[in-house]
Structure 1
Amino acid sequence: MMQWVVLYRKEITEMIRNYKILWIPLVFILLGVMQPISSYYMPEILDNFGGLPEGAVIEMPLPTGAEVLMGVLSNYGMLGVLILVLSAMGTVSAERQNGVAGMVMSKPVPYSSYILSKWAGLVSITLLSLFLGYIASWYYTNLLIESVAAEQIFQSFGIYSLWLIFVVTLTLFFSTVMKGSGSVAFMTILVVAVISTVTSIMQNKLKWSPATLTGHTGHLLQSGELQSSFLPTFLLTVALIIVVLILTIQIFKHKEILE
């Protein structure tokens, strides 16, 4: 356990040194506050830059608070996921290439401790970034649009967090399997895109897919209630994360033994 704590501290220290602990949350905060601000000022923006005839009046109904927050999560589902994948793509592959992984594993360190410390570091920066960005978007939504209950915010945060944890777990897996950071990012984004696309096309047959977590989040924000299929989706996603982590550990162990 102490070895895992030391390795986890190493991950956090590296994030501080390369400023990931700063710029990733800032990007999420920026993405979070853009949605409510742009929604509120959209008529003025169109009036000033839309090239409309003089005297034209733009009347746009304000979106609901739930719709604004769903837009925020949509931004996180695209740009947020891209940022997380690009920041995590070299988690294992880069250390194997520059010899850091070999130096660490030359000591009596369990393979599981090495991989799980990496995973915990990725999860920590993911949850921190999502929380700060989502809370900032909630603040501006309450200020400019309408009030949204805190209970819905924290519940939707928890649901959407699981989806992002699934994404960074896949990134860690491909970072262990592949050598090039670029190929890691490409494969992770490709797999996430395929899962999301296939799930949206075959919603009835894949209603327990991890990609439906975004839909569960939106339903919760709009209705304040969870769908009946949420629990199976939650359990399946957690099971997949565990399975992927076990595979990651075994693949890393196999590669290290061969090398």
Structure 2
Amino acid sequence: MLTSQRKKHLLDLLALDGRIVAKTLSEQLGLSEDTIRRDLRELAKEGLLQRVHGGALPASPAMAVFAERENISADAKSAIGRTAAGLVQPGQVVFVDGGTTAVQLVRHLPADLRATVVTHSPSIAVELLNHPHIEVIMIGGRLFKHSIVALGAAAIEAIGRIRADLYFMGVCSLHPEAGIGTGDFEESCVKRALCDAAAETIVLASPEKLDTASPFQIVPLSRISRIVVDSTVPEHLIAPYSALGISISLAFETHK
């Protein structure tokens, strides 16, 4: 089998089974594990999969730039945003992450809601300009253009001085074994600080992020109180989180 054929076979298997186990596959194909691992390394460099211990998982499409991500699962993200917005209670202090799904959350907040939103995302702050009763506190730092959020030591220090009721976390990937991930180390540190400073963390997970992996873990799944997902997501993708005691909120899309 040529290298190109072998790599295509690996990607086909990954799409079919949702994971690759290097040892098992080497036995099936009669190839050395080193050969399989070399192919996985090269495919990972191309962004076509995410290497994990013993094999590989699908790479998250959320690694794409912001403008491209806006068009991925647009209806599902709107539904997730609307459902998540309904979890915010009057008077609460709420951390809102950056990202395309978080933008949908703030767009669905009631016009008369009185609350405080703390965010390190200029995009989120701008969306709240027309909410007269929502106080917006911005966290500053170095602008990470991929997610349009502030990062760095100054951001983490400021977050540590706030105690929020809720943190709506955006993620690049969510997997029962690989956990909650993102594609940038520094961004993972800021997200972790936000989680540490909130009484409850709620993950916003659009369909393309489920059962995928990213390079940098944010927090263990045990730190998550709730996951908001699109109602069309198959039950087998949700069941592992329910089994861990994480509440699941199903977001139903509205069809015009």
TM-score w.r.t. the length of structure 2 is 0.25
Q: Which one has the largest radius of gyration?
A: 1
Q: Which has the higher strand share?
A: 2
Which is bigger in relative contact order (C-alpha 8 A, separation at least 6)? Answer: 1
- Structure with greater proportional helix content: 1
Using the size of structure 1 for normalisation, the TM-score is 0.25
